[in-house]
């Protein structure tokens, strides 16, 4: 599916929730995985396998019990039959869309099958929220287990392709129920199916489990993104809903004011928003960057202006706390 964007007017937060459903499912191609519009706190869970078709993205948008909010949560997996999620990434105080309960407000939606970015305008203030995959710096290649895996030491995993891992290196293995870090001790690409031997594995995994460098880089940001976010997992798994904290920062080094416009040709420079895992030193790493969202200076633009770069158009917003950004339309 292609990249899509729309601008619209919402008649309160429930209307935005319904317009978001139409945009993601009908326009962008996400799956409406769980429709709980009749719930006292109406919500939808959207599912995507990403632009590659090999990802796992589960996002819940729910009318919050707190006024002015649509709460957002990301999950490693969501069971639509029991309406329960596995390994949530969210925070009740921060991961939400900033909205009006019943009054009209303007919004912009930007999405592909990897992510969704929502901008709302309340009076003259712009709020942004990012959820979905990062443009990862690590490989997205995964090996799929061909049979169930039992916990233990020196465990041999039957997989479809063992060439995506290297002996002596650490990888992440996940299915719909769990996730952990394992060290590969050997591979056999001549066997049918291929095999991967891991030193130790703590829990059992189902057939179809994925093993790779970064098999699910899904994040859920604060209401005032770019800034703090919570990831579904870090390099060694999941701890708690807010236990995988990260943050986004513009890669302009504070020089955006001197490069917007760039004086030689009067061009606008777009800097990526980098995403890193923060918190304790043991988990710090530069993980990737936001998809199709860039930092710019505000010297020659105003919020809601567009910047044309080749055939691509970018909508500019001065986001509260996030600063000036340009989002691909």
Same-domain pairing of 55 and 193:
no
Same-domain pairing of 125 and 243:
yes
Same-domain pairing of 130 and 258:
yes
Q: Which structural domain range is residue 157 located in?
A: 142-212
Q: How far apart are CA 33 and CA 25, in angstroms?
A: 10
Tens-level pLDDT at each residue, the chain (329 residues): 589 999 999 999 999 999 999 999 999 999 999 999 999 999 999 999 999 999 999 999 999 999 999 999 999 999 999 999 999 999 999 999 999 999 999 999 999 999 999 999 999 999 999 999 999 999 999 999 999 999 999 999 999 999 999 999 999 999 999 999 999 999 999 999 999 999 999 999 999 999 999 999 999 999 999 999 999 999 999 999 999 999 999 998 888 888 888 888 888 889 999 999 998 888 999 999 999 999 998 888 899 999 998 899 999 999 999 999 999 99
Q: How far apart are CA 324 and CA 270, in angstroms?
A: 10
66 in a domain, yes or no? yes
Helix, coil or strand: residue 24: helix
The two three-digit tokens of residue 160, written as one number = 């479809």
Please give the tally of structural domains in the chain.
2
Same-domain pairing of 76 and 184:
no
* pLDDT score at 298: 86
198 in a domain, yes or no? yes
103 in a domain, yes or no? yes
Q: How far apart are CA 114 and CA 48, in angstroms?
A: 7
Same-domain pairing of 27 and 99:
yes
57 in a domain, yes or no? yes
Q: How far apart are CA 174 and CA 172, in angstroms?
A: 7
261 in a domain, yes or no? yes
Q: Which residues pair with 184 in a beta bridge?
A: 198
Q: Other CB atoms closer than 10 Å to residue 118's CB: what's the count? A: 26
Q: DSSP letter string over 61-116?
A: EEE-SSTTEEEEEEEEEEETTTTEEEEEE--TTTSEEE--SSSEEEEEEEE-SSEE
Domain boundary at 162, 181, 212, which? Answer: 212
163 in a domain, yes or no? yes
Helix, coil or strand: residue 164: helix
Domain boundary at 182, 212, 242, which? Answer: 212
Q: How far apart are CA 185 and CA 183, in angstroms?
A: 6
Q: Omega before 212 cis (within 30°)?
A: no
Same-domain pairing of 175 and 40:
no
Q: How far apart are CA 261 and CA 14, in angstroms?
A: 40
24 in a domain, yes or no? yes
* pLDDT score at 1: 55
Same-domain pairing of 89 and 149:
no
Domain boundary at 170, 187, 212, which? Answer: 212
Same-domain pairing of 44 and 102:
yes
Same-domain pairing of 117 and 147:
no
Beta carbons within 8 Å of 77's beta carbon, 6+ residues apart: 56, 58, 85, 86, 87, 176, 177
239 in a domain, yes or no? yes
Same-domain pairing of 220 and 202:
no
Same-domain pairing of 160 and 72:
no
Same-domain pairing of 15 and 114:
yes
């Amino acid at each position: 599916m292609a990249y899509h964007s729309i601008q619209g007017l919402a008649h309160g937060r429930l209307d935005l929730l319904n317009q978001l459903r139409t945009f993601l499912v009908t326009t962008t191609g996400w799956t409406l995985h769980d429709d709980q519009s009749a719930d006292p706190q109406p919500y939808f869970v959207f599912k995507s396998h990403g632009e590659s078709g090999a990802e796992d993205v589960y996002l819940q948008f729910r009318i919050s019990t707190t006024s002015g909010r649509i709460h957002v949560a990301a999950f490693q997996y969501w069971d639509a039959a029991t309406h329960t999620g596995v390994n949530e990434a969210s925070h009740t105080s921060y991961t939400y869309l900033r909205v009006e309960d019943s009054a009209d407000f303007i919004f912009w939606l930007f999405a592909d099958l990897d992510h969704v970015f929502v901008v709302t305008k309340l009076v003259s203030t712009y709020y942004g929220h990012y959820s979905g995959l990062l443009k990862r710096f690590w490989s997205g290649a995964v090996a799929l287990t061909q049979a169930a895996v039992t916990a233990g030491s020196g465990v041999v995993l039957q997989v479809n392709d063992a060439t995506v891992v290297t002996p002596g290196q650490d990888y992440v293995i996940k299915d719909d129920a769990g996730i952990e870090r394992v060290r590969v001790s050997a591979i056999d690409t001549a066997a049918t199916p291929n095999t991967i031997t891991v030193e130790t594995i703590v829990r059992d995994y189902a057939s179809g489990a994925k093993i790779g460098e970064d098999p699910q880089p899904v994040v859920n940001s604060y209401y005032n993104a770019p800034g703090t976010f919570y990831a579904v997992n870090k390099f060694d798994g999941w701890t708690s809903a807010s236990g995988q904290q990260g943050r986004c920062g513009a890669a302009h080094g504070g020089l955006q004011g001197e490069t917007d416009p760039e004086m030689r040709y009067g061009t606008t420079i777009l800097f990526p928003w980098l995403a890193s895992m923060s918190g304790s030193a043991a988990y710090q790493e530069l993980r990737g960057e936001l998809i199709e969202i860039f930092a710019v200076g505000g010297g020659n633009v105003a919020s809601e202006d567009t910047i044309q770069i080749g055939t691509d158009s970018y909508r500019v917003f001065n986001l509260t706390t996030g600063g000036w950004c340009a989002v691909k339309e």
